Structure 1
């Protein structure tokens, strides 16, 4: 299945003048960095490049074709000279008031893409208007919003934008940023694991901002899992229904297994990741966590706890949590901690664990290579 970049023209590839008509060469100004980075997108990434643009009244007295085509053809030839070819060019000529099925955000011009040949869920619409983002929503795709020329001042537009926030995958007017975003993708994954003992749902965004929504039925366990999200700068949703009437064991163990598995699947091909990664102090404690997402599971654990329980979480389950995580994630973990306060000690371990993950999953967009001499992880 082919992924597509549906790219607007005016305000996205070229600057849009105040009268919104590029009907002369004097008005033509290409967007900064567009040639360099759209060329890299074309040559390095597996997208079909498509132009889709609304040109109000094209072919009428308001906008004669003799004014449009010389400039447009020059634009296309200039991109072609830089190795950038548009597989298709879709131009709608209707006026905004007409609300024609062919006019963005409607999809009348794009019916061929609603087929098994195209992966619309992993395709993008790039444009400078909210109608472009609405088009992305109507296609079942994501939007990249170039906001230079969009007036967001009115209440109506502000409300519309808020309803489209979940469609906007990136907001930037810098083609270098757009290229790096498309090259690395946002790494998200989810898992649902149901047994006779637990029912678990987890959603993970490795490139998040530290948001979490966690409910396992064990408040202290929730608090520790929240550390992974906040200090690892990843977004994490975990919902667990476990047999707590028996004890805490199955809930903690199965959550760790599922969390490890979703990390393994979300990391994908692991291209460009740092792979390794932390030690940190917390009051009287010092915790060291070293991790390797190398494809093999192993745990070294050097931490002792004198209390049987912290909150409603047995301290014997700390080791078991990290062992189960390594099994699911197929990673190495080396954990050491010392200190006198048991709460501080385990919290320091979870925070160091989060920092280790943050370091290890970080990617270098300029060096998207596998960090292994074996050729596979």
Structure 2
């Protein structure tokens, strides 16, 4: 998924002179800290789109020759630092025309609204006017307005600390599931699946994984527990994958947990390649109403949906302890792997 910053031009990237002759080349000046901030955000995986209202551009009142010299200089300065825009969108209508393409209208951004790869929870609009905040609201993403006492460094700090959240609803003929995660908060934690021991194990994932987890499921447990366990794993995996997004800054890997006489070892890689290997066997066929054969199936479904490579081993005598050790070890390993330890992508490929 792509996290995109939709950035205004005048007053956001270049200064607006007091006499409002904003396109006079001799008055050209970058907004303070803009270049350094954009470099930080680029390194954190953000993509850039310029979105600007230029009233009447190309008319006698605003000739093209008054705009392009400063625009080209701006792009040259930024490109010399490795900062480029995926798209440059300029509306030329006058304010009184209320064109659909004019900010805060969405006319210029319809393609992005239709793009399923845009990660709106982590995308944002950055500008210096109220219309930029209105545009953010219309897009359904965050908005930041530069003003006195609040500049680019403040915006960078907030963006890089933004919580990683996701909500997934999954409904089939067998289950109806809602799951929400926040990888950067530890509460709330609420589980309700209709399978008591399974609820207890999912609570371990959130508690020891260090993230907020809310999951409810209405399933066909009158038939058996299989559909509920499998579909909860799929929905939770999808939510984790969405919340991780482009994975910039994560530790990526996590490595082991004793539970009394039992011991579980989990090796995990947030690889975007779903693979699960299990080594162990449980002495009992069920704990409570949870069949033990569904434990490795849960982790397999979760790994595939979340794009995780997971190798799990468990030994012991008490089945309850062994299963709990598996869930806790997985959670602690996941906690290490999702931790923000940098701003770079932990891969030489350039993508995960």
TM-score bin, normalised by smaller chain:
0.5 to 0.7
Q: Distance in 2 between matches of 1:36 and 1:115?
A: 29
8 A Cα contact 1:284 1:340, kept in partner: yes
What per-residue deviation string (whole Å, max 9, x for no partner) do you get for residues 207-227 of structure 1? 443455533122442232233
After superposition, the Cα gap between the structure-2 partners of 1:213 and 1:43, relative to the gap in structure 1 and judged at 3 Å, is closer
After superposition, the Cα gap between the structure-2 partners of 1:362 and 1:235, relative to the gap in structure 1 and judged at 3 Å, is same
**Match among 229, 233, 253 for residue 252 of structure 1:** 229
After superposition, the Cα gap between the structure-2 partners of 1:127 and 1:358, relative to the gap in structure 1 and judged at 3 Å, is farther
8 A Cα contact 1:212 1:237, kept in partner: yes
After superposition, the Cα gap between the structure-2 partners of 1:253 and 1:104, relative to the gap in structure 1 and judged at 3 Å, is same
After superposition, the Cα gap between the structure-2 partners of 1:21 and 1:354, relative to the gap in structure 1 and judged at 3 Å, is farther
Q: Which residue of 1 aligns with 2:142?
A: 143
After superposition, the Cα gap between the structure-2 partners of 1:92 and 1:257, relative to the gap in structure 1 and judged at 3 Å, is closer
Correspondence 1:173 to 2:154? yes
Q: Which residue of 1 aligns with 2:58?
A: none
Q: Which residue of 2 aligns with 1:290?
A: 267
After superposition, the Cα gap between the structure-2 partners of 1:248 and 1:103, relative to the gap in structure 1 and judged at 3 Å, is closer
**Match among 164, 167, 177 for residue 201 of structure 1:** 177
Q: Which residue of 1 aligns with 2:59?
A: none
Q: Which residue of 2 aligns with 1:227?
A: 204
Q: Which residue of 2 aligns with 1:168?
A: none
RCO greater where, 1 or 2, for CA within 8 Å and sep 6 or more? 2
Q: Which residue of 2 aligns with 1:31?
A: 32
Q: Distance in 2 between matches of 1:327 and 1:93?
A: 51
Deviation for aligned residue 1:194: 1.9
Q: Secondary structure at the match of 1:239?
A: strand
Correspondence 1:239 to 2:235? no
**Structure 2 stretches of 5 or more lacking a match?**
56-61
RMSD of equivalent CA atoms: 5.6
Q: Distance in 1 between matches of 2:301 and 2:181?
A: 20
Q: Distance in 2 between matches of 1:281 and 1:246?
A: 34
**Match among 353, 363, 372 for residue 330 of structure 2:** 353
Q: Which residue of 2 aligns with 1:159?
A: none
Q: Distance in 2 between matches of 1:250 and 1:288?
A: 27
Deviation for aligned residue 1:314: 4.9
What aligned pairs does 1:326-341 form with structure 2 within 5 A after superposition? 326=303, 331-336=309-314
8 A Cα contact 2:45 2:248, kept in partner: no
Deviation for aligned residue 1:35: 0.9
8 A Cα contact 2:191 2:202, kept in partner: yes
8 A Cα contact 2:287 2:320, kept in partner: no
Q: Distance in 2 between matches of 1:26 and 1:376?
A: 41
What aligned pairs does 1:271-282 form with structure 2 within 5 A after superposition? 274-280=251-257
Correspondence 1:52 to 2:52? yes
After superposition, the Cα gap between the structure-2 partners of 1:246 and 1:289, relative to the gap in structure 1 and judged at 3 Å, is same
Q: Which residue of 1 aligns with 2:170?
A: 192
Q: Distance in 1 between matches of 2:351 and 2:111?
A: 34
What aligned pairs does 1:352-371 form with structure 2 within 5 A after superposition? 352-362=329-339, 364-369=342-347
Q: Secondary structure at the match of 1:80?
A: helix
Deviation for aligned residue 1:135: 1.2
**What TM-score, normalized to structure 2?**
0.63
How many residues align structurally?
A: 329
Correspondence 1:114 to 2:106? no
8 A Cα contact 1:48 1:87, kept in partner: no
After superposition, the Cα gap between the structure-2 partners of 1:271 and 1:176, relative to the gap in structure 1 and judged at 3 Å, is closer
Q: Distance in 2 between matches of 1:27 and 1:253?
A: 60
Q: Which residue of 1 aligns with 2:8?
A: 8
Q: Which residue of 2 aligns with 1:164?
A: none
What per-residue deviation string (whole Å, max 9, x for no partner) do you get for residues 279-335 of structure 1? 346788765433245533311236656x9535x545564444335445655633313
Deviation for aligned residue 1:89: 4.4
8 A Cα contact 1:129 1:145, kept in partner: no
What per-residue deviation string (whole Å, max 9, x for no partner) do you get for residues 86-145 of structure 1? 824458876xxx8966898631xx52433589749836422356642321222x342242
Deviation for aligned residue 1:27: 12
